[in-house]
Amino acid sequence: MNATLLFLSGVGFQEILLIGLFVLVFFGAKKIPEFMKGLGKGVKEFKDAVKDVKKEVEDAGTTSKIEDGK
**pLDDT tens, residue by residue, 53-69:** 999 988 887 776 666 55
What pLDDT sits at residue 40?
A: 93
**Per-residue pLDDT tens digits of the chain, which is 70 residues long:** 455 555 666 778 888 889 888 888 888 888 888 888 998 999 999 999 999 999 998 888 777 666 655 5
What pLDDT sits at residue 53?
A: 93
What pLDDT sits at residue 36?
A: 85
Chain length of the chain: 70
Question: Residues with Cβ < 8 Å from 27, sequence gap 6 or more?
Answer: 35
Q: Give the count of domains, the chain.
A: 1
Distances (CA, A) of 59 to 3, 44, 66: 31, 22, 11
Reduce the secondary structure of the chain to three states and give it as a string: CHHHHHHHCCCCHHHHHHHHHHHHHHHCCCHHHHHHHHHHHHHHHHHHHHHHHHHHHHHHHHHHHHHHHC
What range does the domain containing 31 cover? Answer: 2-69
